[in-house]
Amino acid sequence: MNRKLKFALAALLGFSAACSSVKNAPKEDDGKQVSGVKVEESPSNPRVVVMYGVRLPDSVRIKRMERQHPDSLPPVTEQPREEASTPSGK
């Protein structure tokens, strides 16, 4: 089973973000339609914040996503994410 199919199955189960990273994955609305299932592609190396680690800088995360999945990001998600005044949910 290839990686893409595994992510598709995880998405079917509602755990695509958990199998990658919410912070790294494109927003749900940006997912591709494959057989009626929204597929969120993820970087091949989802980053985990280790206990004494720090958050991945936004610009670095976006750059990595662009490099690893150049076709998966619509223009709107390629823009650096701004810290909104009203935090969004998970």
The answer to the question of residue 73 lying near another protein (CB under 8 A) is no
Which secondary structure element, helix H or strand E, spans residue 34, and what is its range?
strand 32-34
Residues with Cβ within 8 Å of 54's Cβ and at least 6 positions away in sequence, in order, are none
* Of 34, 39, 35, 37, residue with least CA distance to 72: 39
Percent helix / strand / coil, the chain, rounded to 5: 35, 5, 60
Q: Which of 33, 35, 67, 75 binds another protein (CB under 8 A)?
A: 67
The answer to the question of residue 37 lying near another protein (CB under 8 A) is no
Q: Which of 27, 34, 59, 74 binds another protein (CB under 8 A)?
A: 59
Q: Which of 28, 60, 74, 78 binds another protein (CB under 8 A)?
A: 60
| Minimum distance of another protein from residue 60's CB (angstroms) | 5
Taking the C-alpha atoms of residue 51 and residue 73, their distance in angstroms, rounded to an integer, is: 29
Query: Where do contacts with another protein occur on this chain (CB under 8 A)?
Result: 1, 3, 6-7, 9-10, 13-15, 17-23, 44-60, 63-64, 67, 82-83, 87-90
